[in-house]
Structure 1
Amino acid sequence: MTRFTGLSMQAHDAKYGVLMVQMGGAQDLDGVASFIFEMLKDRRIIDLPSFLRLPLAFFVSRVRAPKVRKQYAQIGGRSPIIEATFEQGRALSSTLKGQGFNCAVEVGFRYCSPRIEDAMQRLDSLGVKTIVFLPLYPQYSTTTTLSALDVAMKTAKRLGVALEVIEDYADNPEFIEAWVENIRRSISMIQNKDEILLCFSAHGIPVKYVARGDPYPSRVQKTVEGIIARINDVQGIIASVLCYQSRFGKIKFLEPGILEALEEGRRKGAERVVVVPISFVSDHLETLFELDKTVRKRALALGYDDFVLVKPPGVSQRFISALSGLVIGRISKEDEDG
């Protein structure tokens, strides 16, 4: 049974709907292989003709599933990103309502249920005439934002509804401030605040996509620059670095990788590392397992005295305020144009 937020039912006669888009995750251990397959069969992820892409996606998903299933088992047996996204949807709905905006809010995942198409159908059934596309990917990439937008645009055309698109908010001041607050809080908990490496870790993408014009690394850099400008008064930070995680296969990904960045940090004299998962807005496998278990273990083996993982923005007041501001901005523009 497809699950919805239930919040849209509270938005009677809403003219506008908000589609919160996220990647999704495995909903249980039995669903790991199918989730990997759904992701890898996306032409924005593996850029091959379908007759090559689909069998490759099936093969890789079956090969990787046992390993990934074990990883999920160590973080509770399912992806926390699903419930986290629903919580963000509820928080956004409440905030918009409190600001006097009658909007129906639904969550749609790219690779699991409820799908983007399901959420848009739900909004259409409530009489919504315009849907605001709100990706929970802060930095635009063809592999994430455009992949979801492909589906949303096709569905909007079929349903006959208008689509207002928020593509990116990498340098949005309130989004930046949400990270700044979490980083400051994390650093305040370190007992010895000296020789700190501030490590910004973003999900990697293949270099060939950047060569074709994907702006993702420059958008991530914008976020990092915005944060650094707001924390230059924090004592003890001796260096900062932007690096990338979650590489797989033999394709060349963006560099440096996070492990290489940690090694370089030690060579420069860093004794403590604060990791900021800069491209994530809620916890999931890449933060709870890859960073908090695998990378933590490696960092301590390299000789770091402290490894601190900063929590993503989640449902922080500042982040939800950023999202509501983006939505209201699109609604206002649509009203003016209309």
Structure 2
Amino acid sequence: MSYDALLWLSFGGPEGPEDVRPFLENVTRGRGVPPERLDEVEKHYQHFGGVSPINRLNLDAIEAVRAELAARGVDLPIYFGNRNWHPMVEDTLAEMTEAGVRSALVFSTSAYGGYSACRQYDDDVLRARAAVGADAPDLLKLRHFFDHPLFVAAFADAVRAAAATLDGEYRLVFTAHSVPESADAAAGPPAEGGHRYSRQIAEASRLVAAELGAGDYDVVWQSRSGPPQIPWLEPDVVDHVDALHAKGVPAIVVCPIGFVSDHLEVVWDLDTEARERAEEHGMGFARAATPNADPRFAQLVVELVREQLDAVPSRKLSEFPEGGCTLNGAPCAPLCCKPAKRPARR
């Protein structure tokens, strides 16, 4: 099948102070997040002038992918759409339809499976096509890439660079966005097509650690939201800093393995909160860069594109089944990344 364009599909972020609350309400709609939690997160954004770096980082990455496509002789226009803030994916898909695009590939800015990391992007595709109507182009979302050798190599080099800023021994800590335990479990077993987020995070961490020759490391979580009575994946990264201090660990290198760019949840949760806690304890702290600005990230995206355009063999370092490649928002397997059932309100 031939493709006319590439849709770059991401999360979105506010562009000014007045955008923050509407953006957060878009993100949390229907999830039962208490207003006081939104108040808290709003302060994080306002700390940076109400502007998330995510849109700028996406635009920078898109330019790098355009250059890489051109270098490979691939003529494929790129369109940018978001789930939660402008440019909204519905508007972008309408623009694509008006431009005559009949079929497009979709790159979503998450390397992993799971409901929030994968299935919600399928929902974005379904919602956007429904909004546009019968003339909407066919959309094929590209696969998960947490175990791609370029993804692993970029993170490994970023850890090396971060560690070089510290003197002496350190503890390697991988971190990713937490999710409710029920949502993680709902992915189902791999034999039935399930792509459990926590397993993929653990595998990506193992692959990077192996590339570094690190036999001992930790995997922790960050950025939880939602009602406090709902169990989420733990431990939290800041709590883990406390635990490492209690054990006498002198320094920490944090690798944000769950993120592809230095957006607000990285610069607040890690560069601000976790760093400040480490400094309170007198511990060394360094944070590895995410791969967004690494040239290998653009190369990775183009490889995923060429898997579909030119039948280039997929490269992966794990034994995990490939997942996430979906046509027009249909899940790649019945149990893959399905949402967890919400508890009944009392």
TM-score of the superposition, structure 1-length normalised? Answer: 0.82
- Offset, 1:154: 4.3
| Separation in 1, partners of 2:144, 2:223 | 21
Amino acid in the other structure paired with 1:35 = F
Q: Does 1:332 align with 2:310?
A: yes
Q: Which runs of structure 2 are paired with 1:250-269 in the superposition (5 Å)?
A: 250=228, 251-269=230-248
- Tell me which residue corresponds to 2:301: 323
| Separation in 2, partners of 1:230, 1:291 | 23
| Separation in 2, partners of 1:71, 1:270 | 28
| Separation in 2, partners of 1:150, 1:96 | 27
Structure (1/2) with the larger helix percentage:
1
Amino acid in the other structure paired with 2:149 = P
* Secondary structure at the counterpart of residue 107 of structure 1: strand
| Separation in 1, partners of 2:81, 2:126 | 13
Q: Which runs of structure 2 are paired with 1:205-216 in the superposition (5 Å)?
A: 205-213=179-187, 215-216=196-197
Structure 1 segments (4+ residues) deviating >6 Å:
none
Amino acid in the other structure paired with 2:56 = E
Q: Which runs of structure 2 are paired with 1:117-136 in the superposition (5 Å)?
A: 117-136=90-109
- Tell me which residue corresponds to 1:6: none
Aligned counterpart for 1:231 among listed residues 208, 212, 227: 212
* Secondary structure at the counterpart of residue 291 of structure 1: helix
State which drifts further: 147-156 or 307-316: 147-156
- Tell me which residue corresponds to 1:174: 150
Q: Which runs of structure 2 are paired with 1:275-314 in the superposition (5 Å)?
A: 275-304=254-283, 306-314=284-292
Aligned counterpart for 1:98 among listed residues 71, 90, 93: 71
State which drifts further: 75-84 or 154-163: 154-163
8 A contact 1:145–1:167 mirrored in 2: no
| Separation in 2, partners of 1:333, 1:19 | 19
8 A contact 2:3–2:105 mirrored in 1: no
- Assess, with a 3 A threshold, how the Cα gap between structure 1 residues 215 and 153 changes in structure 2: closer, same or farther: same
Residue deviations 1:154-201, cap 9 Å, x none? 4346334222221311101111111112111111222x132x111111
8 A contact 2:93–2:136 mirrored in 1: no
* Secondary structure at the counterpart of residue 201 of structure 1: strand
- Tell me which residue corresponds to 2:343: none
- Tell me which residue corresponds to 2:7: 19
- Tell me which residue corresponds to 1:28: 16
Amino acid in the other structure paired with 1:293 = T
| Separation in 2, partners of 1:316, 1:76 | 26
Residue deviations 1:102-148, cap 9 Å, x none? 10101111000111122222222222222111111111221132112
- Tell me which residue corresponds to 1:271: 250
- Offset, 1:262: 2.0
8 A contact 2:209–2:215 mirrored in 1: no
Aligned residues between the structures:
299
Amino acid in the other structure paired with 1:193 = G
- Offset, 1:65: 4.3
* Secondary structure at the counterpart of residue 173 of structure 2: strand
- Tell me which residue corresponds to 1:247: 224
Q: Does 1:80 align with 2:57?
A: no
Question: Identity across aligned pairs (percent)?
Answer: 24
- Assess, with a 3 A threshold, how the Cα gap between structure 1 residues 122 and 193 changes in structure 2: closer, same or farther: farther
Q: Which structure is higher in RCO with an 8 Å CA cutoff and minimum separation 6?
A: 2
- Tell me which residue corresponds to 2:344: none
Residue deviations 1:23-50, cap 9 Å, x none? 11122111111111101115xxx2xxxx
8 A contact 2:143–2:304 mirrored in 1: no
- Offset, 1:333: 4.1
| Separation in 2, partners of 1:99, 1:124 | 26
* Secondary structure at the counterpart of residue 199 of structure 1: strand
Residue deviations 1:283-333, cap 9 Å, x none? 2221111211111111222341x1111121122111111111111112224
- Tell me which residue corresponds to 1:186: 162
* Secondary structure at the counterpart of residue 292 of structure 1: helix
Amino acid in the other structure paired with 1:323 = V
| Separation in 2, partners of 1:198, 1:84 | 26
* Secondary structure at the counterpart of residue 103 of structure 1: coil
- Offset, 1:67: 3.1
Residue deviations 1:235-258, cap 9 Å, x none? xx6841010001233121101221
Residue deviations 1:268-295, cap 9 Å, x none? 4321101111111112221111211111
| Separation in 2, partners of 1:174, 1:238 | 21
Amino acid in the other structure paired with 1:16 = D
